Each structure stands twice: as C-alpha cells, then as structure tokens.
Amino acid sequence: DIIRGKDLYEGNAKGKKQRLQLETNLQEIFKKIHEELKQEQKKEDQYKDDKPYYYKLREDWWNMNRKEVWKAIICYADKNNTYFRHRTSEGNICTVQKCKCLNGDPPTNLDYVPQYLR
C-alpha cells in the first residue's frame, strides 16, 4: 500500500512527519524511474499524466516487483511462520509455509482489498 500510494495509516504526529518524508522519497524515486522511462519514448505516453505522485507507475512497478519484495520480507521467516490462518474456512490445512504459497508465489489475495477492511 505504501509503494502504491494507497496507505491509509497516518500515525501520530511523529509518524505523520516520517510518513510525509517517506512519501516525498517515494515520489523522488518514481520521478527518477519516470525519467529513465522517458528515454524509451513509447513508454512516456503511458505515464505522461501521472505526475507528481506517479500512482500508475507505482502500480505497474508493484505488479512487476511484488514477488521480489515479498521474498525480501520473508527471507528469514521460519518455516512455521504464517501470514494466514492455519486452516481454511472449510477446515482444510492451508497451503502456505514460511508466509508464502507452496509454489513460491506471494500471497496477493489482499493486495486490492481496501486497507480498512483487512
């Protein structure tokens, strides 16, 4: 949510200041990515109206990199750590280990659920 620019958490006064700094840094990062994409003229048109927050570019970046980000988050997770419950609503054992699906894909079922509903 933070990368995609959709994080709802504002935190306390100190947290708001840090959050603003993080958002500013992310805007600079995606501005640089956008500048690099301008070198490839065909991609410039896709993001030309995306400034200054670069939400479309962020969304595309997230879609391309979510698996690597998730690997980085869970790289030291114990085999028994779970991101989900241990059993499905039907009572079956969940197919997740070490906070990931058995095939290695990141769990993306909550990516587009509004943050306040998670």
5 and 27 fall within a common domain: yes
59 and 2 fall within a common domain: yes
Question: Which residues in 40-57 are b (16+ Cβ under 10 Å) and which e?
Answer: eeeeeeebeebeeebeeb
Note the pLDDT of residue 10.
65
Note the pLDDT of residue 22.
86
The two structure tokens encoding residue 76: 């030291």
87 and 38 fall within a common domain: no
64 and 14 fall within a common domain: yes
Note the pLDDT of residue 116.
63
* Residue 98, domain extent: 77-108
3-state SS of the chain is: CCCCCCCCCCCCHHHHHHHHHHHHHHHHHHHHHHHHHHCCHHHHHHHCCCCCCCHHHHHHHHHHHHHHHHHHHHCCCCCCCCCCCCECCCCCECCEECCEECCCCCCCCCCCCCHHHC
Q: What is the pTM of this model?
A: 0.54
43 and 5 fall within a common domain: yes
58 and 81 fall within a common domain: no
Note the pLDDT of residue 19.
81
64 and 83 fall within a common domain: no
How far is it, in rounded angstroms, from Cα 2 to Cα 111? 11
Walk along the chain (118 residues) and give the pLDDT tens digit of each residue. Answer: 677 776 666 667 777 888 888 888 989 998 888 888 877 766 556 787 888 888 888 889 988 888 888 777 777 767 666 655 566 556 666 655 555 555 666 666 666 666 666 5
69 and 89 fall within a common domain: no
Residue 117 lies in a domain: no
Residue 8 lies in a domain: yes
CA angle centred on 46, ends 25 and 110, rounded to 5° = 60
Note the pLDDT of residue 21.
87
33 and 66 fall within a common domain: yes
Answer yes or no: are the C-beta atoms of 50 and 34 closer than 8 Å. yes
